[in-house]
A and B are shown apart, each in its own frame.
Chain A
Amino acid sequence: MFRFEADSGLINAVLRKIPNQDFLYQEGVIVGRVALPISSFTVVVVPGFDGTHVVLSIPFSEVKGDKTGKFFLSKILNVFWGTIAKQVEAAVIPRLRREGLPANTVTLERSKDRSGDVGKIKISLAAVNSWLAGRHPRLTPSVTDVCFTRGSCLIVGELASHNVPD
């Protein structure tokens, strides 16, 4: 068993590497400021783990535009989520393929909760583990649990060794 825990400082250092966006991990959620040509908007991303996927939930009600206002952006997201999801997938899938990850590593979907519509970016642990298994000829790490707390992210996994015949 291995456990890797990164504090919010380290998570934010990694988030800073994402171009054209300003994301900050604080109090267990990611608050992001995304710049678009017409306006910029803030978005709250709630990370979690459902047992098979790391799920990044984006409540539409928490998306706020600098000029467009909260209500208007929520409506736009509601109407155009399908189109946005397809565009995000079109941008992400080639990058996943370049890194050797299967196309189904990241999927986007929409669901409803008490606050209304929620966009979800789901990262498949099975796909990530399958990719990890191909990184070394004899060692197979696999992630079994991911936990987000107010100040850190904890990743738990197993390391297996298998002999390859000469």
Chain B
Amino acid sequence: MRGSSKVELDKETVNILLKEFASKPDSEVTFENGRLFAHLSGLKVEITNLPLNSTKLNLEGSFGKVDVELSDFLMEANGVKMNFEVEVD
């Protein structure tokens, strides 16, 4: 069966997740004004567009198999918006 979902994360939540999962002691990834910044050992990288649309994930756990397709990914000044198409086995 298929369905869809929307996920919205405000900038504070995005930064908490980036600090936890994308940052390391010598590199930091942050989100500011709709852009991603990576600070890698003195090098500053700014990501203004991240075309993650059509990214597909296959999840498998005690809940069964779930196929997730990211149909929309938007970085906005206040946070991130994502739309997913989900198929539950």
Interface residues of A (CB under 8 A from B): 1-14, 16-17, 138-139, 158-161
Other-chain residue from A2, A13, A160 in contact with B7 (beta carbon distance below 8 A): A2
A7 with B4: CB separation less than 8 A: yes
A9 with B4: CB separation less than 8 A: yes
**Shortest beta-carbon distance from B14 to chain A in Å:** 9
Of the listed stretches B15-23, B26-34, B46-54, name the one at the interface; the rest are far from the partner chain: B15-23
Q: Does B76 contact A (CB under 8 A)?
A: no
Besides A1-B10, A7-B3, A7-B4, 10 other CB < 8 A contacts? A1-B9, A3-B7, A4-B5, A4-B7, A6-B5, A7-B5, A9-B2, A10-B4, A10-B5, A10-B88
By Cβ-Cβ distance, the 4 closest A-B pairs, closest first, are A10-B3, A9-B3, A13-B1, A13-B88
A2 with B10: CB separation less than 8 A: yes
9 example contacts (A-B, Cβ-Cβ < 8 A) are as follows: A3-B8, A6-B4, A7-B4, A10-B2, A13-B2, A13-B86, A13-B87, A158-B13, A159-B17
Given contacts A16-B1, A17-B63, contact A10 B86 (CB under 8 A): yes
Q: Does B56 contact A (CB under 8 A)?
A: no
Q: Does B44 contact A (CB under 8 A)?
A: no
Given contacts A1-B10, A2-B9, A2-B10, contact A13 B16 (CB under 8 A): no
**Shortest beta-carbon distance from B58 to chain A in Å:** 15
Interface size on B, residues (CB 8 A): 21
Given contacts A2-B8, A139-B20, contact A16 B88 (CB under 8 A): yes
- Residue of B whose beta carbon sits closest to that of A6: B5
Q: Does B61 contact A (CB under 8 A)?
A: no
- Residue of A whose beta carbon sits closest to that of B88: A13
Given contacts A13-B2, A16-B1, contact A1 B7 (CB under 8 A): no
Given contacts A1-B12, A2-B13, A159-B16, contact A12 B64 (CB under 8 A): no
- Residue of A whose beta carbon sits closest to that of B63: A17
Complex formed: what's the CA distance from A14 to B64 in Å? 11
Complex formed: what's the CA distance from A138 to B17 in Å? 11
Chain A contacts of B6 at CB under 8 A? 3-5
Chain A contacts of B88 at CB under 8 A? 10, 13-14, 16-17
A11 with B7: CB separation less than 8 A: no
- Residue of B whose beta carbon sits closest to that of A140: B16
A6 with B19: CB separation less than 8 A: no
Chain B contacts of A158 at CB under 8 A? 13
